[in-house]
């Protein structure tokens, strides 16, 4: 009995142990299955996250390429020429051009630390704000900006810039001014702001000078952006830029630096309020005997939508209505016949930047080289019809 009880007790004990082992085995299998599900879930989440990031990056890439293609010159935007490769090549060329211009700029300032022939006056930031307010307070479309000729960074910019460019004032802090220009206008900016070409601001602030006379200095045009709009696209606005040379006292560095002070006035369409009167819608152009634009009057900007650099160096015929292109042959024949004397000709249709054709009444003249007796260039005076 005792042995049997002992045996039974042992049997029960083994049975319990066996059940215990079964229980641990089930827990182990359950734990293994749970870990497998968690691992699979993590892998799935990671994969989805990577796919989402990849899709987002791809979307941004396509959007950036689309934006780059918008900056291509009109002749490169034609069908078959605006491929991704050509767009990237153009962007790379612009970057190299900007870098080359910056290096050239710095080299100029090292070689000519003091631009010759100028008595350049030094101003504090407060003084710049005071003297430029005479322009910015009278015209809501004008802002002033001082750009270092050494670093290219913005040293001063008036408060109106943020509202005109539809951005926050903070975006200008420690930024280079050319970063806000459309790529194709960067070289134009550098060419017009080389130190030896700039008039000294002090020349315009004398007792005999007036604000109007100062604004009549040699100006140029650039498209400027303050950032992206609500749709995420960069919006550029055309501005007439009037540059001057001055020294700015840097409070942080406790030294003076040469700067280019720019008065930037936004250009609006001549057909929107305040409209340009019909009798004032006149501009002039010059082109070579083989019909390539040499110069475009700045009065054309609000009438055509093009900046001068958009047209200079391009064929005249590309901007005319196809049906009117043969008229240029008749005009050139008449130019040879009149030998420099002005004459009126029938109207022609010119393609504006928005793609619409405007009708212009034209008058023509030319400059004939007195020694070679050949036409050097052709001058056109154009009046936009109502």
pLDDT tens for the 386 residues of the chain, in order: 444 444 444 444 444 444 444 544 555 545 555 555 566 656 666 667 777 777 778 777 777 777 777 666 655 655 555 577 777 777 766 766 666 556 555 555 545 445 544 568 889 999 999 999 989 999 999 999 999 998 899 999 999 999 999 899 999 998 999 999 998 999 999 999 988 888 888 776 654 555 555 555 589 999 999 777 666 678 899 999 999 999 998 766 667 889 999 999 999 999 998 899 999 999 999 999 999 999 999 999 999 999 999 999 999 999 999 999 999 989 999 988 888 899 998 899 999 999 999 999 999 999 999 899 899 999 999 999 96
Domain with CATH 3.30.450.20 in the chain: 81-202+218-267, 278-384
What are phi and psi for residue 20, nearest 5 degrees? -60, -40
Q: What is the pLDDT of residues 62-81, one digit of tens each?
A: 777 777 776 666 556 555 55
- Sort 315 into a burial class: Cβ within 10 Å, 0-12 / 13-18 / 19+: middle
Residue 345 tokens read as 């000709």
328 near 299, Cβ under 8 Å?
Answer: no
Residue 95, H or E segment? helix 84-111
- The residue among 72, 96, 67 whose CA lies nearest residue 86 is 72
Question: What is the Cα–Cα distance from 385 to 377, expressed in whole angstroms?
Answer: 25
Q: Residue 65: left if φ>0, alpha if ψ -120 to 50, beta else—which one?
A: alpha
291 near 316, Cβ under 8 Å?
Answer: yes
Q: Does domain 81-202+218-267 correspond to CATH entry 3.40.50.1100?
A: no
Helix (H, G, I), strand (E, B) or coil at 365: strand
CATH superfamily of domain region 278-384: PAS domain (3.30.450.20)
List Cβ neighbours of 74 (8 Å cut-off, separation of 6 or more).
Answer: 310, 314, 318
Sheet of 357-368: strand order equals 293-296, 282-287, 375-384, 357-368, 343-351
pTM, two decimals, is: 0.69
Long-range contacts of 140-144 (CB under 8 A, 24+ apart): 140/164, 141/265, 141/266, 141/268, 142/263, 142/264, 142/265, 142/266, 143/264, 144/261, 144/262, 144/263, 144/264
């Amino acid at each position: 009995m005792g042995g049997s009880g002992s045996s039974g007790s042992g049997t029960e004990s083994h049975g319990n142990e066996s059940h215990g082992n079964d229980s641990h085995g089930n827990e182990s299998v359950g734990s293994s299955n749970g870990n497998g599900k968690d691992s699979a879930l993590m892998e799935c989440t990671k994969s989805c996250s990577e796919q989402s990031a990849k899709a987002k990056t791809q979307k941004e890439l396509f959007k950036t390429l689309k934006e780059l293609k918008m900056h291509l010159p009109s002749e490169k935007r034609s069908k078959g020429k605006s491929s991704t490769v050509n767009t990237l090549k153009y962007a790379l060329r612009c970057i190299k051009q900007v870098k080359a211009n910056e290096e050239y700029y710095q080299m100029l300032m090292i070689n000519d630390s003091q631009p010759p022939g100028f008595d350049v006056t030094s101003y504090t930031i407060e003084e710049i704000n005071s003297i430029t307010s005479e322009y910015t307070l009278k015209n809501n479309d004008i802002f002033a900006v001082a750009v270092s000729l050494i670093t290219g960074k913005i040293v001063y910019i008036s408060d109106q810039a943020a509202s005109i460019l539809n951005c926050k004032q903070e975006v200008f802090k420690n930024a280079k001014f050319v970063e806000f220009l459309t790529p194709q206008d960067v070289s134009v900016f550098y060419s017009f702001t080389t130190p030896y070409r700039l008039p000294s601001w002090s020349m315009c602030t004398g007792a005999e000078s007036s604000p109007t006379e100062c604004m009549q200095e040699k100006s140029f045009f650039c498209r400027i952006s303050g950032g992206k709009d609500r749709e995420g696209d960069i919006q550029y606005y055309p501005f007439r830029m009037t540059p001057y040379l001055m020294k700015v006292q840097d409070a942080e560095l406790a030294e003076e630096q040469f700067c280019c002070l720019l008065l930037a006035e936004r250009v609006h369409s001549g057909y929107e309020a305040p409209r340009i009167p019909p009798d004032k819608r006149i501009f002039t152009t010059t082109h070579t005997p083989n019909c390539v634009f040499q110069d475009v009057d700045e009065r054309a900007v609000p009438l055509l939508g093009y900046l001068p650099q958009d047209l200079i160096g391009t064929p005249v015929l590309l901007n005319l209505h196809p049906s009117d292109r043969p008229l240029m042959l008749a005009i050139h024949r008449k130019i040879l016949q009149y030998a420099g004397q002005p004459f009126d000709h029938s109207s022609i249709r010119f393609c504006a930047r928005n793609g619409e054709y405007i009708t212009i009444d034209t008058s023509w003249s030319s400059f004939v080289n007195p020694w070679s007796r050949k036409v050097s260039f052709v001058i056109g005076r154009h009046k936009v019809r109502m």
